[in-house]
Amino acid sequence: MGKNRLEAFSDGVLAIIITIMVLELKVPHGEHSEDLMPLVPTFLSYVLSFIYVGIYWNNHHNLLHATHRVSGGILWANLHLLFWLSLFPFATGWMGENHFAPLPTAVYGGVLLMAAIAYWMLQQLIVATEGEQSALRHALGADWKGKVSPLLYGLSIIASFWSHWMAQGIYVLVALLWLVPDRRLERAVRQEGV
Amino acid sequence: MGKNRLEAFSDGVLAIIITIMVLELKVPHGEHSEDLMPLVPTFLSYVLSFIYVGIYWNNHHNLLHATHRVSGGILWANLHLLFWLSLFPFATGWMGENHFAPLPTAVYGGVLLMAAIAYWMLQQLIVATEGEQSALRHALGADWKGKVSPLLYGLSIIASFWSHWMAQGIYVLVALLWLVPDRRLERAVRQEGV
Amino acid sequence: MGKNRLEAFSDGVLAIIITIMVLELKVPHGEHSEDLMPLVPTFLSYVLSFIYVGIYWNNHHNLLHATHRVSGGILWANLHLLFWLSLFPFATGWMGENHFAPLPTAVYGGVLLMAAIAYWMLQQLIVATEGEQSALRHALGADWKGKVSPLLYGLSIIASFWSHWMAQGIYVLVALLWLVPDRRLERAVRQEGV
Amino acid sequence: MGKNRLEAFSDGVLAIIITIMVLELKVPHGEHSEDLMPLVPTFLSYVLSFIYVGIYWNNHHNLLHATHRVSGGILWANLHLLFWLSLFPFATGWMGENHFAPLPTAVYGGVLLMAAIAYWMLQQLIVATEGEQSALRHALGADWKGKVSPLLYGLSIIASFWSHWMAQGIYVLVALLWLVPDRRLERAVRQEGV
């Protein structure tokens, strides 16, 4: 009930987030390569965030595909997730403009951490609604990626002030972890033959 | 007739409003915590407005779910609501940038008030189209939240010039009132078994 | 064939146009009423353009509702219409910021004129595809509004340099003409019982 | 499976890209024609990019219409395409603001080239999923446009540093090539009678 509109609204917000992030890549005034160079860190942070939003869209897509009932609580848990994702353009822009300096790197990690927690809460709520015997519950299994990611984000926040390049390395690593498609949910969807 | 496209268009506008509000959170030039501090009021006003747009999306979702006929009048009442909601980014940004000063606080209340009136007009029009015996009409009942909110907004506009913190308190209070899910409409939808 | 995606894409573009127009309403730096005053012309031009985009969305909605076949030509005629509508935020912002000065007023009229011509071309193409005996063709009838509007826009472009308030008056007048719902197409849709 | 949501998300991103490009057309401060003149190159580059995004939307529409299965790989190939298209506003704005200077012209060509490669990869993946005997495979035929376009973009990138007007001429030429509707896919769709 209302699942389609929830998907449509989430897709709309995610599409806007992924696109307005590029507005932080400000058009430089000069026409030479030295005018373009200062934008390289902003471009790299844009690439990283684009992949992260893509991962969230992908996982969200699979999660909602395996969802059959949408309650008021799920609507708000979804909005809570979208709230933290909406801070990606800000965190990305700040990190890029300051060439991956410690504090912006830590703040970026904080936004990643909160988004991961919000996703986990949404997932828990949906699992609780679907039931312990649901195909979704079985498909998630131990959900080690979902458990390890927040730990790694937490680690990288601390690492930011010690070695911000190590923190960046962790962000890239977690993105790679998730880029491997989440076969669990795809399998659940296939088993049901929805 | 045309209800789906009305929902899709409204969702699109609401998704954009909720996302471009974050653009008022301008990326600071420095990389230190003292560069981030001046953004705290803007961030807080963003959180408040995000919740308000979320509430409107949620209620709008339930209201249209219980709607069966869409007339030209309903289309325009809906656009009228979207107009006032489209002023949220401006009002939010102005209030945040000026640290909740009296006039911006009052203007923010004015936008909330006009949006509440526009929502009420849309609801009245839909109820009139659905008929006095409709499930929607019964579900709305006395609609005390819909009646109390504009009064509280009006009160807080006046309070802004006397104590702008009291006005902010009222805005938070009304948001909390609505965060409690609108069981009436959910019930109506369930009764019909749509 | 593909009509739904054409509607969805057009709705997306129109939703974004109507919402980013409000970004021209720049948040002022001061917190007093004298900081808000210079924004009044921009606000008024925003209201006018919001109504115009609303009218286009409404008419586009009815036109496509009565459409059964979508050809490649119709896709491009639709994109051509969206192109001119996408210039609304620019024209609106320029006219507002310059307090309805002659040239910005004329340019605004030029964008309105081109959008009207693009809409007329789209309508002609759809009518040609639907056939002379279609419900749509009968419903449009003499289409006096569609014929008079471009003439009035042309008149107001000329009038801009002589009396820009008269030009503004014509813009408001045409908007009012269209605000009266387009009963012809609603009737056509109803007759078919789609 | 999930094709509708893939289309909806892509449409959302394309709608936003095509619309935020116009934000590079900054509202000038003066009200006279000499204030408008410097915007002519930006306007022309906007027109070119609008047509390119329109072509991508059109082709993407036809390609997905002929697609029956969506895998995780296709989702990511689609996001990869959207990534390069999301750089259109930046490349367009930089080229326009610098009056088609050599380096911005070459960078614009680079974004066109990468988008063309990403589209080709998406198409290959869909063809591989659909199978060699699919209607889509037959419809694509030799796909000479898809093969010639990247070559022409590569040529124009080199030409940029020698004669940037020649490079612009190639961009316009390729756009014209694609503006001729892609009858192959339309035919495939028609043959299947989907």
Q: Which residues are CB-neighbours of A159 under 8 A, at least 6 positions away?
A: A166, A167, A170
Q: How many angstroms separate the CA atoms of A19 and A86, rounded?
A: 11
SS3 label, residue C30: coil
Q: Where are the domains of chain C?
A: 4-192
Q: How many angstroms separate the CA atoms of C13 and C16, rounded?
A: 5
For D50, nearest residue in chain C (alpha carbons): C83
For D23, nearest residue in chain C (alpha carbons): C90
- Across the interface, whether the CB atoms of B107 and C32 are under 8 A apart is answered no
**Per-residue pLDDT, A185:** 60
Alpha helices in A66-101 (DSSP H): 72-86, 88-97
Q: pLDDT exceeding 90 applies to what percent of chain D?
A: 62
- Across the interface, whether the CB atoms of B86 and C50 are under 8 A apart is answered yes
Q: How many angstroms separate the CA atoms of B114 and B87, rounded?
A: 10
D42 contacts D94 by C-beta, under 8 angstroms? no
Q: Which residues are CB-neighbours of B85 under 8 A, at least 6 positions away?
A: B13, B14, B17, B53, B56, B115
Q: Where are the beta strands (DSSP E) in B12-141?
A: none
Query: Cβ of C121: how many Cβ atoms within 10 Å?
Result: 16
Q: Span C13-42, mean pLDDT? A: 92
| Preferred mutation among D6, D7, D9 to probe A, highest tally of A CBs within 10 A | D9
DSSP per residue, chain C = --HHHHHHHHHHHHHHHHHHGGGGSPPPSS-SHHHHGGGHHHHHHHHHHHHHHHHHHHHHHHHHHT-----HHHHHHHHHHHHHHHTHHHHHHHHHHTTT-HHHHHHHHHHHHHHHHHHHHHHHHHHHHH-TTSHHHHHHTT-HHHHHHHHHHHHHHHHHTT-HHHHHHHHHHHHHHHHS--HHHHHHHHHHT-
**Per-residue pLDDT, B179:** 85
Length of chain C, please? 194
Nearest to B61 among A5, A17, A86 (CB): A5
Q: How many angstroms separate the CA atoms of A50 and C182, rounded?
A: 43
Q: Which residues are CB-neighbours of C30 under 8 A, at least 6 positions away?
A: B98
CA distance A86 to chain D (A): 15
Higher pLDDT, C186 or B194: C186
SS3 label, residue A142: coil
ipTM passes above 0.95:
no
Q: Which backbone phi and psi does D72 adopt, to 5 degrees?
A: -60, -40
Query: Cβ of A116: how many Cβ atoms within 10 Å?
Result: 24
SS3 label, residue D182: coil
DSSP state at residue D180 = S
Task: Examine the pLDDT at D69 and tell me if it is beyond 50.
Answer: yes
Q: Span B39-51, mean pLDDT? A: 95
**Per-residue pLDDT, C77:** 95
Query: Cβ of B181: how many Cβ atoms within 10 Å?
Result: 17
**Per-residue pLDDT, C184:** 60
Task: Examine the pLDDT at D24 and tell me if it is beyond 50.
Answer: yes
pLDDT band at D77 (very low <50, low <70, confident <90, very high): very high
Tens-place pLDDT, residues B100-118: 999 999 999 999 999 999 9
Burial (Cβ within 10 Å: 0-12, 13-18, ≥19) of residue C120:
middle
**Which A residues 80-139 touch B at CB under 8 Å?**
82-83, 86-87, 89-90, 93-94, 97-98, 101-104, 107
Tens-place pLDDT, residues D93-144: 999 999 999 999 999 999 999 999 999 999 999 999 888 788 888 878 778 8
**Per-residue pLDDT, D194:** 41
Tens-place pLDDT, residues B7-20: 889 999 999 999 99
DSSP state at residue C78 = H
Q: In C, which residues are within 8 Å of B5 by CB distance? A: 7, 11, 61
Query: Cβ of C8: how many Cβ atoms within 10 Å?
Result: 22
List chain A pLDDT tens, one digit each, 194 residues: 578 888 889 999 999 999 999 998 999 989 999 999 999 999 999 999 999 999 999 899 889 888 888 888 899 999 999 999 999 999 999 999 999 999 999 999 999 999 999 999 999 999 998 887 888 888 787 788 889 999 999 999 999 999 989 999 999 999 999 887 656 666 665 655 44
Identify the CA nearest to B107 among candidates B39, B171, B58: B171
Residue D70 has, within 13 A of its CA and on its CB side, a CA count of 20
Q: Is the dihedral of CA B39, B45, B51, B57 positive or negative?
A: negative
Q: How many angstroms separate the CA atoms of A37 and C140, rounded?
A: 57
Residue D172 has, within 13 A of its CA and on its CB side, a CA count of 10
How many helices and strands, by DSSP H and E, does chain A display?
Answer: 10, 0
Question: Which residue's entry shows tokens 């694509």?
Answer: D140
Q: Span D82-103, mean pLDDT? A: 95
Question: Which residue's entry shows tokens 């094709």?
Answer: D3
Answer whether B194 touches C (CB < 8 Å). Answer: no
Can you read off the two tokens belonging to residue D1?
Answer: 């499976």
* CA A146 to centroid of chain Cα atoms: 12
Q: Span B14-38, mean pLDDT? A: 91
Nearest to C61 among B2, B104, B107 (CB): B2
CA distance D117 to chain C (A): 24
A52-56, B121-125, C68-72, C163-167: least confident range:
C68-72
**Per-residue pLDDT, B57:** 93
Q: Give residue D36's identity as a one-letter amino acid code.
A: L
| Preferred mutation among D17, D90, D97 to probe A, highest tally of A CBs within 10 A | D90
How many helices and strands, by DSSP H and E, does chain D display?
Answer: 10, 0
Task: Examine the pLDDT at C193 and tell me if it is beyond 50.
Answer: no
DSSP state at residue B28 = P
Q: Is the dihedral of CA C40, C45, C51, C53 positive or negative?
A: negative
Can you state the angle between helices D164-179 and D40-65, rounded to 10 degrees?
A: 40
**Per-residue pLDDT, B188:** 60
